[in-house]
Structure 1
Amino acid sequence: MNKRVLLIAFHFPPQAASSGIQRTLSFSRYLGGFAWEPLVLSAHPRAYSQQNPSQLASIPEDIVVRRAFALDAKHHLGYKGRYLALTALPDRWTSWALGAIPAGLSLIRRYKPEVIWSTFPISTAHLIGLVLHRITGLPWVADFRDPMMQPSYPVIPMQRRMYRWIERQAVMRCTTAVFTTHGAMEDYRRRFPDVSPAKFRVIENGYDEDIFDAQPAAPAGAGDASRRLTLLHSGVLYQDGRDPAPFLQALAHLKEAGKATPDTLRVVLRAPGDLDGTRACVAAAGVADLVEVAAPVTYREAVSEMLAADGLMVFQGTPFNAQIPAKLYEYFRARKPIIGLLDPAGETARVLGKAGCNDIAHIDSPDAIAAALERFLTCIAKGRAKVASEEVIRSASRRNRARELALVLDAAAQGARQA
C-alpha cells in the first residue's frame, strides 16, 4: 500500500462528547481495505471536556496518530466559564492550529500523503487543512458533517464573519466538498452557484458492522399484544430542534385514555444531555411512571440497548432539516421499527421514507404524535411494524462509506497527478 491520506479531525478517541468521533474513526479503520493508508492528526486529549479512554481500543494499532498541542479557551484560558472572545476565534480550540500546522507539515514530509482530508464542525480543522493545502499544494477534501453557516449560528458577529471566510475558502480551494446529506449539499450548491456542481459530493454517516456482528438482533415484532413494549431514544435532546415536551404531552394523552400504562409501555430516553432538566420535564408531563431518563453508556452498550428495544425513536426538528442524526443508520442496522418525530420536510424524513419507515409525526404537534404513536405501538404489538430494507442496511455500513471516500480520494489524487 503506497497511497496515504492525512485525516485532520478534532473529534477522535478518547473524546467522548460527540458522536462525530465515529466518522473519522471508521474511516481510519476501513480505508486500508480500499488501498488508502490513513494518518490521523488530532488534538491533545487535554482539549476534550469529556473523555472515554475505552474508545482508544477501537483505533487500529498500525496507523499513525499525532495529537498536537491544543487548549480549550473556556477551560484553560477562562475564569469561571468566562473567556475572551478573541481566544475563541473561530472556535474555542483555535490554539490547536498552533500545534497542528507544524505537526501536519512534519507528517507530510515524513509520510508523503497524496491527499489532505479535514472535517467540520470544529472549524479550526478546516483552517488547518486550508493552511496545509496552501503550503504543500496537496489536494484537499473538505468534509462538512454539518453546514458551517446556519441562520442561528454562529451568533457572535465576529465569529460569524470568520466562519463565513473559512467556509468560503474551503469551498473555493478544496478539490472536493463532502456532505452527509443531500439537503446540505444542495444548499451549498445554491449558495455557491459559481462552483461546479461536480465539486460537491455526499457521503452519509453509517453504522459499524463489527459492533453489530457481536450482538445479533432479535426478530422485529414478537406479535404478543399482551407484553410490555420498550421504546428507546438514544442521544441528546434540547429545546431548540429536539424538544421532547410535545412527545411527553402526547404520551400523557395516551396515558389518560388508558392506551399507555406502566404494564404495557416503557420509554427510555438514554443520554439526553441535561438529565435533571429532562427528568423535570417528564415529571411535569405526569409520565414519570412510563419514562426512564437514563445516563450515558458506552457505544457498545448503546448498540446492545437498541437491539433489545421493541421500537426506536428519532427527534429532529426544523432547525436541523438539512441534517440526519448519525444514530439513524444504527437504528436501520438494528432492524427495529422506527418512529420519526420531526419536520416532514426535512432530510431525516426523506431518508426514513426511502428506507420504508413511514411512521412519522411533526415534532411540535402533541396530537399528531399521539395518533402516530398509538398506531406505531399497535403495529409493533401485532408484529406488523416495518423495518429498513436489507438494501438500505447494506449501503449504510461504515465500510461502504469508507469505500465511497476512497473513490473521492482516488479522484483527488489522480487529478493532482495530471495537473
Structure 2
Amino acid sequence: MHKVLIISYYWPPAGGPGVQRWLKFVKYLPEFEIHPVIYIPKNPKYPITDSSLNQEIPENITIYKNKIFEPYFFAGFLSKKKTKQISSGVISDENPSLIEKFLLWIRGNMFIPDARKYWVKPSVRLLTGIIEKEEIDTIITTGPPHSLHLIGLELKKNLDVKWLADFRDPWTSIGYHTKLRLTKASQRKHRQLEKKVANGCDKLLVTSNTTKTEFETITTTPIYVITNGYDIPESELPFSALDKKFTLSHIGSLLTGRNPENLWKVLSEIINENEAFRNVFQLNLIGVAGQDVLNSINDNGLEFYTRIIEYVTHEEAVNYQRRSQLLLLAEIDSPQTRGIIPGKLFEYLAAKRPILAIGPEQWEGGEIVKSTNSGIVCNYNSVADLKAVILKWFHLYQQGILMVSSVNIKEYNRRTLTAKLAELL
C-alpha cells in the first residue's frame, strides 16, 4: 500500500470548514490502496472546536504530532474577542478599534505568510526522520495556513520526495488580504513565497477553476481542480420533517463583506406587505455573524424574525440544513471572490432544499447552483427578481410542495472526489 504524508494544521477537534476536506480524503484513501500518515500540531489554538468530529477519524491510521508556537495566545491578552475573530477571518469593515487595527497590522506584517510560521523549522527537522522511518515518497501540504507549504518546500529541497501542494483557498488573491494593512515590502514577500511554493511543488491542487487560472499566471507546474464535497446521504426527508415556519437558514460564518443588504430590504418589504408571510417567516443564522451584518438586519426591522446560534456541531448543522425551507448562500461581491466555492454549498446540495445564492458576477459557486438545478442565483443589486423568487417559494410552501429537483450532484460525493485524488497520487 502506497504511503503519503499529509501535513495539516486543521484536524479534529478543530471545527469549521477547514478540517473537513482532508478528514474526508483520509477516510476514503485506503479504499484506493493509499495509506495516509498524518502530521498535525500538538497544541493548536483553534478559533472553534467540534469534538464530535473526533469520531470521524478513521482507525488504523498513523498520526504524528509536534508542538506549535501560537502567537495568537499572547495577542489574546489584549483582546480575546478580537483575536478570536481575526484568527477565524471575521474582520470588521465598520470603524475598527485601535486594538483591531494593531492586531491586523501585526498579523499581516510580522507573521509572513501567517502566524503559524514558527512551526516550519521544527516540523522539517521532525519530519525528515519520519519520512525515512515510514518510507514515504509523497508528501501533501494543505493551506491555509500557507506556512505549511513552506514545510513542503524545505522537505522537497532536502529529500527525494514528490510534493503535492493543496490550496483550499487562494493565497495573495484572497479577499481579506487587502484588509491586513500590508506594507509594500510585505506584499512583495507574500508574492515571492507564493511563487516559490507554486514552482517548487510537483503538482498543485486547488478547489476552483478560477484559482487554477490565477496560479497559471505564476507557474507551469501542473494544476488540478478537486472541489470540496459532501459525505452525507442525500436527503429524502418527508415534508412533515421540515420546519413548520418558513425558514431561511444560513449555515456557517456570515463574515463581514458577505452582507446581502438587498435581501434584508426585500424581506422587510414582504413582511410589511404580506401578513401571512409575516406570521411564519424566520431567519436562522447558524454560526458567527459579522457585526455589520447584524446591524443591517436590525436596521431593516428583522431582529424579531432572526434567530442567532453562534456555533453548532457538524451533525447539528446538517440537521438545520435538512429541516430548513430555504438555504442562504452568500459570497463577497468582488471579482476576487469569483473562485470561492463555500464548502457548505455541497452539503446544501445533499440537503435538497432550495438554495438562494447571492454573490458576484461569474461566481463559480453560483454556477454550481445553476448547473445542478438546486436554486436561484442573484447578485447584490437584485431586488425585483429576488422578491419575486422569495414570494414564489413562499406560495409553494403554503401549498406544501416547496422542493427542489436537483441533478448531477453525485460528482461532489467525497468518495468520488477521493478517487480523483488517488489517481493524482
Give the TM-score taking structure 1 as reference length: 0.86
Match of 2:126 in 1: 103
Kindly indicate whether the alpha-carbon contact (under 8 Å) linking 1:178 and 1:203 is maintained by their aligned counterparts in 2: yes
Contact residue 329 and residue 396 of structure 1 kept, 8 A? yes
Does 2:227 align with 1:204? yes
> Secondary structure of 2:303's match?
coil
Quote the Cα distance in structure 2 between the aligned partners of 1:162 and 1:301: 41
Which residue is 2:187 aligned to? 160
* Counterpart residue number, 1:408: 424
- CA 1:162–1:279 in structure 2 vs 1: closer, same or farther (change >3 Å)? same
372-381 or 55-64, which moves further after superposition? 372-381
In 2, the alpha carbon distance for the partners of 1:278 and 1:66 equals: 40
2:310 to 292, 295, 300: 295
AA in 1 matched with 2:195:
R
- Structure 1: gaps spanning 5 or more residues: 410-419
Q: Deviations over 1:229-286 (max 9, x none)?
A: 222110111232x114332111101112216634232221111334x66544322211
Cα distance 1:259–1:165, how it changes in 2: closer, same or farther (>3 A)?
Answer: farther
Alpha carbons of structure 1 residues 78 and 253: separation in structure 2 relative to 1, 3 Å: closer
Specify the alignment match of 1:248 in structure 2.
264
Distance 2:323 2:76 in 1: 44
> Secondary structure at the residue paired with 1:261?
helix
Q: Which amino acid aligns with 2:330?
A: F
Q: Is the counterpart of residue 35 in structure 1 residue 33 in structure 2?
A: yes
Q: Which amino acid in 2 is paired with 1:245?
A: E
Report the counterpart of residue 211 of structure 2 in structure 1. Answer: 184
Q: Give the corresponding residue for 2:345.
A: 328
Are 1:373 and 2:352 counterparts? no
- The answer to whether 1:218 aligns with 2:237 is yes
Q: How does 1:283-322 map to 2 (within 5 A)?
A: 283-319=298-334, 320-322=337-339
Paired letter, 2:38: V
Q: Which residue of 1 aligns with 2:277?
A: 261
Change (3 A) 1:54 1:228: closer
Distance 1:322 1:235 in 2: 18
Counterpart residue number, 1:11: 10
Any residues of structure 2 matched to 1:325-404 within 5 Å, and which?
325-382=342-399, 383=401, 385-389=403-407, 391-392=408-409, 394-404=410-420
Percentage of pairs with the same residue: 23
Shift of 1:79: 5.3
SS of 2:321's partner is helix
Change (3 A) 1:151 1:181: closer
The separation in 2 between residues aligned to 1:185 and 1:306, in whole angstroms, is 30
Question: What is the alpha-carbon distance in structure 2 between the residues aligned to residue 291 and residue 108 of structure 1?
Answer: 51
The structure-2 alpha-carbon separation of the partners of 1:321 and 1:150, relative to structure 1 and needing over 3 Å to count, comes to same
The equivalent residue for 1:146 is 169
Q: Which runs of 5+ in 2 are unaligned?
A: 80-101
| SS in structure 2 at match of 1:376 | helix
Question: Partner amino acid for 2:322?
Answer: L
How far apart are residue 36 of structure 1 and its match?
0.5
Structure 1 residue 170 corresponds to structure 2 residue 193: no
Aligned counterparts of 2:286 and 2:353: Cα–Cα separation in 1: 17
User: Aligned in 2, Cα 1:55/1:282: closer, same or farther, shift over 3 Å?
Assistant: same
Matches of 1:325 and 1:374 in 2, distance apart?
26
C-alpha contact (below 8 Å) 1:15/1:45 kept by paired residues: no
Alignment check: 8 A CA contact 2:14 2:48 kept: yes
What is the RMSD of the two structures over their aligned residues, measured on CA atoms?
2.5
Kept after mapping to 2: 8 A contact 1:7/1:39: yes
Bigger shift: residues 256-265 or 174-183:
256-265
2:90 paired residue number: none
Structure 1 residues 36 and 265: CA distance shift in structure 2, 3 A? same
1:368-403 Cα offsets, whole Å, 9 max, x none, are 4323322333345452643421x32x1111111111
Deviating more after overlay: 164-173 vs 22-31 = 164-173
What number of residue pairs does the alignment pair up?
A: 392
TM-score (norm 2): 0.85
2:86 alignment partner in structure 1:
none
